[in-house]
Amino acid sequence: MTTGCAMKSSWLEKNTFHYSEFNDLDRLVEEKRRKNLKISLCLPTLNEEKTIAKEILIVKSELMTRYPLLDEIVVIDSESTDKTREIARSFGADVYKATEILPELESFKGKGENLWKALYVTKGDIIVYIDADIKNIHHRFVYGLLGPLILSDNIKYVKAFYDRPIAIGKSKIRPTGGGRVTELVVRPLFSLFFPELTQILQPLSGEYAGFREIYEAIPFPIGYGVETSMILDIYEKWGLDVIAQVDLDRRIHRNQDTRALGKMAFVILMTFINRKIKLGLIDIKENLSSEMIQYNLIKDQYKPDIFQIEGNERPPIIEIPAYREKFKK
Spatial distance between the Cα atoms of 243 and 308, rounded to a whole number of angstroms: 34
Per-residue model confidence (pLDDT) at position 6: 42
Spatial distance between the Cα atoms of 12 and 187, rounded to a whole number of angstroms: 16
Per-residue model confidence (pLDDT) at position 8: 52
pLDDT digits (tens, 9 = 90+) for 76-107: 999 999 999 999 999 999 999 999 999 999 98
Q: Give Cβ neighbours of residue 24 (< 8 Å, ≥ 6 apart).
A: none
Per-residue pLDDT at 254 exceeds 80? no
Q: DSSP letters along 21-50, please?
A: GG--HHHHHHHHHHTT--EEEEEEESS-TT
Mean pLDDT score of the chain: 90
Per-residue pLDDT at 270 exceeds 70? yes
Q: Are 177 and 165 in contact (CB under 8 A)?
A: yes
Angle, to 10 degrees, between the axis of helix 25-34 and the axis of helix 140-151?
50
Please count the structural domains in the chain: 1
pLDDT digits (tens, 9 = 90+) for 27-78: 999 999 999 999 999 999 999 999 999 999 999 999 999 999 999 999 999 9
HSE at residue 316, side-chain half, CA atoms within 13 A, is 14
Q: Average pLDDT in the 160-164 region?
A: 82
Sign of CA dihedral 309, 311, 315, 321: negative
Per-residue model confidence (pLDDT) at position 9: 60
Percent of the chain having pLDDT more than 90?
69
Please name which of 212, 195, 83 lies closest in space to residue 157, comparing C-alpha atoms: 212
Helices (H), ranges, 15-139: 25-34, 52-60, 84-90, 111-121
Sign of CA dihedral 228, 6, 13, 153: negative
Q: Which one is predicted more confidently, 163 or 318?
A: 318
At 303, phi and psi to the nearest 5? Answer: -115, 135
Per-residue model confidence (pLDDT) at position 253: 59
Per-residue pLDDT at 276 exceeds 50? yes
Per-residue pLDDT at 220 exceeds 50? yes
Q: Are 247 and 16 in contact (CB under 8 A)?
A: yes
Cα radius of gyration rounded to whole Å, the chain: 20
- pTM, two decimals, is 0.90
Percent of the chain having pLDDT more than 70?
92
Per-residue model confidence (pLDDT) at position 290: 87
Q: Average pLDDT in the 291-299 region?
A: 89
Per-residue model confidence (pLDDT) at position 61: 98
pLDDT digits (tens, 9 = 90+) for 177-216: 447 898 899 999 999 999 999 999 999 999 999 999 999 9
State the Cα angle at 156 between 14 and 29, rounded to 5°: 90
Per-residue model confidence (pLDDT) at position 258: 85
Residue 164: pLDDT band by 50, 70, 90 thresholds? low
Spatial distance between the Cα atoms of 58 and 218, rounded to a whole number of angstroms: 31
Per-residue model confidence (pLDDT) at position 173: 42
CATH number of the domain that 199 lies in? Answer: 3.90.550.10
Q: Which domain holds residue 49?
A: 2-326
Please name which of 306, 271, 310, 276 lies closest in space to residue 290, comparing C-alpha atoms: 310
Per-residue model confidence (pLDDT) at position 326: 97
Per-residue pLDDT at 119 exceeds 70? yes
Per-residue pLDDT at 20 exceeds 60? yes
